[in-house]
């Protein structure tokens, strides 16, 4: 935990920090309740954020953009052992690869629908091929080829 004298001259309040990142103050309070932020308190008990807190907020936002959940971000920030960090990141990479594969299939399905000349998109050969791949069996194509 920081002492209340650390970077006191450069410290900012919760509103200023939230505004700097385009966040609502309650988001920072939530992150604090989850153990992601540890602001010092001034003599009146108000939160004061310093340069290290700015870095932590930026790190949290980058992690969220990367698809990491707050629990994972907290685990990563608390982990100093390389093997433990790699275990966490390996699991996240596997999950991301799965989401990317699903997104590629979705995009292929959407693009197929955009290029389909059939009235009923379910009759398009590309659509039926994608469905067949998903259910693991051959689906016959009706109508024109």
CA 43-74-16 angle, to 5 degrees, is: 40
DSSP state of 122: G
The pLDDT profile of the chain, 145 residues, written as one tens digit per residue, is 444 444 555 799 999 999 999 999 999 999 999 999 999 999 999 999 999 999 999 999 999 998 899 999 999 988 889 999 999 999 999 999 999 999 998 898 888 888 888 889 888 888 888 888 878 855 455 544 4
Domain ranges of the chain: 1-78
Residue 68's DSSP bridge partners are none
- The CATH architecture of the domain made up of 1-78 is Orthogonal Bundle (1.10)
Q: Please report the DSSP string for 25-56 in residue order.
A: HHHHHHHHHTTS---EE-TTS-EEB-HHHHHH
């Amino acid at each position: 935990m920081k002492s209340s004298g650390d970077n006191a001259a450069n410290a900012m309040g919760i509103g200023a920090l939230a505004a700097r990142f385009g966040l609502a103050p309650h988001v920072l309070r939530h992150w604090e309740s989850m153990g992601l932020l540890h602001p010092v308190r001034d003599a009146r008990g108000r939160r004061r954020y310093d340069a290290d807190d700015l870095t932590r907020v930026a790190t949290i936002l980058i992690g969220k953009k990367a698809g990491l959940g707050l629990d994972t971000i907290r685990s990563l920030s608390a982990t100093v052992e390389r093997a433990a960090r790699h275990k966490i990141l390996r699991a996240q990479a596997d999950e991301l690869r799965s989401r990317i594969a699903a997104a590629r299939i979705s995009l292929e399905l959407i693009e197929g629908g955009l290029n389909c000349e059939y009235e009923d998109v379910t009759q398009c050969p590309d659509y039926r091929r994608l469905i067949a791949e998903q259910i693991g069996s051959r689906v016959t194509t009706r109508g024109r080829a």
